[in-house]
Structure 1
Amino acid sequence: MLPVKWGHEALDDLVEIIDYIEQYNPIAAASLHRHIVAAAEGLSTIPYGFRPGRVPGTREIVVHPNYLVVYRVGDTAVDVLRVLHARQEYP
């Protein structure tokens, strides 16, 4: 099992998403936060279980119909790079 490490950009993305949703529905925001974190942390056991990313060297997991986690599998860790809304232009 590889440890999961959250990058600064991914953490900033997550805070921004949750803060926005929390304005309208705090319960949904808390639920989404738990769901995204659990999915990302689960990458430690199956890092290659999800589709290759749009950026070479990355992979993506759809954690909710509207959100995806972009990550990279390294030699010593799974690096969470971004948390994005599905409609966001990326890269």
Structure 2
Amino acid sequence: MANTHRFEQLDYIAQDNPLAAISQDEEIEHQVDMLMQHPQMGRSGRLRSTRELVISRTPFIVVYRIKGKRIEVIRLLHSSQQWPV
């Protein structure tokens, strides 16, 4: 589901600026990869047991949970979206 949101968001951006979409996708991927080593780097989430990572240089926020040694990405939000709904 999170990947579906990611592709929808980036496809929308790519309609006007394909290079920006590629750049933002790379930044999202890079920062989510960093979560593997530093799972607490995001802020406390608005939903119980979640955390939120603001992706720098993009309008996106990754909502995730820490499950043992795993990171479960729940959703990719545009900062203008209401969360939770």
TM-score, scaled relative to structure 1:
0.86
Instruction: Look up the equivalent residue of 1:84 and give its one-letter code.
Output: L
**Structure 1: runs of 5+ lacking an equivalent:** 1-8
Render the CA deviation track for 1:32-71: whole Å, top value 9, x for unaligned.
0000111111100100122100000000010035210000
The root-mean-square deviation of aligned C-alpha atoms, in Å, is 1.0
Equivalenced residue count is 83
Instruction: Look up the equivalent residue of 1:22 and give its one-letter code.
Output: A
Query: 1:10 and 1:71 mapped to 2: Cα distance?
Result: 10
TM-score, scaled relative to structure 2:
0.92
* Match in the other structure for 1:43: 35
Higher helix share: 2
* Match in the other structure for 2:64: 71
Counterpart selection for 1:87 from 71, 80, 83 = 80
Query: 2:41 and 2:30 mapped to 1: Cα distance?
Result: 15
* Match in the other structure for 2:22: 30
**Structure 2: runs of 5+ lacking an equivalent:** none
- Seq. identity, %: 37
